[in-house]
Chain A
């Protein structure tokens, strides 16, 4: 019993913590369990108490170099190691390496006869011996209440257990003590009165035929801790707790953009697609092309050499690959190059938490740039609305903190209001693409519009969404007096428009030709008149010249006559041809 106490270097203000190494648990414990102190784990049968304690010891020995002692009142070493072998824990090997001691304590009522006063020193000695043998820093006792079934002196047992917990504290070991959940109290025998540093409650509830395990820290003296109920999972690699939310909305927002895989859709989203690390929901009724959008996005991501992770809840991977080939997207090469991983599972396969767990695990393993869940609404079918929403919040936070772009599809039932997503997730999403299906003119056509896109200028236009053998095509829908027209109605309308346009052009050409002709005719007329005018002017000049000559001749005749008559000679003014005013071209004169 002379074990070297661990030296406490941390100032008394800060409580020393012992990491559990269990995913998520350390976060909500704000670092770990109180080091050097006992912690009580209570819960009903099958709530995971034993596993939690074993994992605490195994991880302590493997990851933190803290050997552990497991004192089991319920299962023998053989049973224990079989039970945890499926989680990849090799107890036998740890025992061989001197990192673990398992002490099975048998308390068999039929063998025991009480013949007077006693104490539990035997237990102390065994525990002390085990601790000293390997220099253990962690101890788990599962579950000590079995003592109450073998020994009858309850008052004495309670006093001894109280002493045990104080003794564990004085040994400086971090101890986990499990206890059965009691009616109206945390534990059946009131152990919580003695273990006051930290109490964790485990619970396994069944709702809608799906069991969800939950964990709550009832108290943790001297430390901050998450106060909510946290769902936890027993997965392939042990226990993991899923904090409801990461520590607030602190994730960084990226300015980088990532293509949607559809060129026109990129343009609709401010020309460059989604923001990296954003969450996108594509909602629509059945058969509106949600999965195809997912395939485009995955294809674009893999083409850039980045990884994509798809979770399918409706189709098998091979069915999905085949279907996407039919619209001209072959994802198989990406799968072969390990750029694309497809995980398919029926939502009813396991509870909601297990799905989230799988997503977490694969995401951590594969480290993708994008994660798509198709369709997210199916998850709501295995739980309640509130739970599905809580799960999504956690999922989105998880992906955002890792800067992973998330694409969720949301199936809307035709009879619902299309602009409410089933799981009420719209407010969590950064981008919401809405696919609709309109029936008109004896056919159904798909429409796409961007309902919201945080932080980017996006198109307000409704586009017709067509699935062709070369993938998705977005076409401007015809929007006119008759409303939005799509499909053949749009084609008819467009043809009609083309026809009337041609007719209009024809009419314009005809009128132009006619006017031109008239113009030419008028011009010819003008020219003829001009010629006539000039002819007229020349005529007039000649007439004037003639008249002048006649006047001169007459004057000369008159002079000759008067000479001949010897009349008085009155000096006649000299001939005044020069006095004539100049004539204009048109030959008109101001005076005759």
Chain B
């Protein structure tokens, strides 16, 4: 179910994230458990609302691609990996807590 979502539309809510970098995110889930599905929904919603124009989200099912789990050092699922911008961050959990996701992605306004 490797799913891709790529958006590069007209900018809408400028200034939601500092620096204006493109976010490269990968969401690792295990199968179609409710928790996985919830995580996918939450991730998409989050990206739509907070990263709007500049993100790249990839959803990977480690059951389908177990080798990737190893290569990406996935231990817990769901895990959202932010590979860009650096530094690398791993968000472990179902992404239901938006504040924590914001903190994890360093998107909180200071």
**Residues of chain A having any CB pair with chain B under 8 Å:** 103, 105-107, 111-123, 125-126, 128-130, 147, 150-151
The interface stretch among B3-11, B16-24, B72-80 is B72-80
Verify if B37 is at the interface (C-beta below 8 Å from A): no
B30 interfacial by beta-carbon distance below 8 Å: yes
Which 7 pairs show the lowest CB-CB distances between chains A and B? A116-B93, A113-B104, A129-B66, A122-B74, A116-B94, A121-B30, A115-B93
Q: Chain B residues near A125 (CB, 8 Å)?
A: 30, 62-63, 66, 69, 74
Given contacts A122-B28, A129-B67, whether A115 and B92 have CB atoms under 8 Å apart is yes
Cα A513 to Cα B90 with chains together (Å): 126
B residues within 8 A CB of A112?
90, 92
A116 CB to closest chain B CB (Å) equals 3
Taking CB atoms, residues of chain A closer than 8 Å to B44 are none
Which residues does chain A contribute within 8 Å of B87, judged by CB atoms?
111
| Highest count of chain B CB atoms <10 Å: which of A107, A111, A130, A151 | A111
How distant is the Cα of A147 from the Cα of B92 in the complex, in angstroms?
A: 13
Q: How far is the CB of A158 from chain B (nearest CB, A)?
A: 14
Q: Which residues of A contact B76 (CB under 8 A)?
A: 118-123, 151
Measured between beta carbons, the chain A residues less than 8 angstroms from B63 are 125
Interface size of B in residues (CB-CB distance below 8 Å) = 33
Contact partners of A147 in chain B: CB under 8 A: 75
Chain B residues positioned under 8 Å from A105 (CB to CB): 73, 75
The answer, yes or no, to whether B101 is at the interface (CB within 8 Å) is yes
How near does chain B come to A55, taking the closest CB pair, in angstroms?
A: 24
Cβ contact within 8 Å between B30 and A111: no
With a cutoff of 8 Å between Cβ atoms, the chain B residues found around residue A106 in the complex are 73
Knowing A107-B75, A117-B96 touch, does A122 contact B91 (C-beta < 8 A)? no
Contact between chains at A114 and B66 (CB < 8 Å):
no
Of chain B, the residue at the smallest CB distance from A1 is B63
**A-side contacts of B77, CB under 8 Å:** 118-122
B interface residues, Cβ below 8 angstroms from A: 28, 30-31, 35, 62-63, 66-67, 69-70, 73-80, 87-97, 100-101, 103-104
CB <8 Å contact, A128 and B66: yes
For A121, the chain B residues whose CB sits under 8 A away are: 30-31, 62, 76-77
Residue from A107, A115, A117, A123 within 8 A of B101 (CB atoms): A115
Question: How distant is the Cα of A122 from the Cα of B89 in the complex, in angstroms?
Answer: 17
Shortest C-beta distance, B36 to chain A (Å), equals 9
Cβ of B93 and Cβ of A123 under 8 Å apart?
Answer: no
The CA-CA distance from A119 to B75 in the complex, in Å, is 9
Whether A114 lies near B30 (C-beta < 8 A) is: no
User: In the assembled complex, how far is the CB of residue B92 from the closest CB belonging to chain A, in whole angstroms?
Assistant: 5
| Given A122-B74, A126-B69, also A116-B104 (CB < 8 A) | no
Which among A106, A107, A114, A122 has the greatest number of chain B C-beta atoms within 10 A? A122
Contacts of B30 in A (CB 8 A): 119, 121-122, 125
A123 proximity list for chain B (CB < 8 A): 75-76
A113-B96 in contact (CB<8A): no
Expressed in whole angstroms, the minimum distance between the Cβ of B33 and any Cβ of chain A is: 9
Q: How far is the CA of A120 from the CA of B77 in the complex (A)?
A: 6
Contact check, A122 vs B75: say whether CB atoms are below 8 A apart: yes
Q: A126 contacts which chain B residues (CB < 8 A)?
A: 66, 69-70, 74
Contact for A151 among B91, B92, B104, CB less than 8 A: B92
Listed by A's residue number, 21 A-B pairs whose Cβ atoms lie within 8 Å are A106-B73, A111-B90, A112-B90, A113-B100, A115-B80, A115-B95, A116-B96, A118-B76, A119-B30, A120-B77, A121-B31, A121-B62, A122-B62, A122-B77, A125-B30, A125-B63, A125-B66, A126-B74, A128-B66, A129-B66, A151-B76
Residues of A within 8 A of B104 (CB): 113, 115
Closest to A146 in B: B75
Determine the chain A residues whose CB is within 8 A of the CB of B79 once the complex forms: 118, 122
Task: Identify which of B62, B87, B96 gathers the most chain A CB atoms within 10 Å of its CB.
Answer: B62
How far, in Å, is B81 (CB) from chain A's closest CB? 9
With A118-B94, A119-B30, A121-B76 already in contact, 15 other A-B pairs whose C-beta atoms are closer than 8 Å: A107-B75, A113-B103, A115-B94, A115-B96, A118-B79, A118-B93, A120-B75, A121-B77, A122-B69, A122-B75, A123-B76, A125-B69, A126-B69, A129-B67, A151-B92
Report Cα–Cα, A117/B103, bound state, in Å.
Answer: 16
Measured between alpha carbons, how far is A116 from B92 in the docked complex, in Å? Answer: 7
B74 to chain A, nearest CB (A): 4
* A116 contact set on B, CB distance < 8 A: 93-97, 100
Check A111 against B88 for contact (C-beta < 8 Å). Answer: yes
B16 to chain A minimum Cβ distance, whole angstroms, is 18
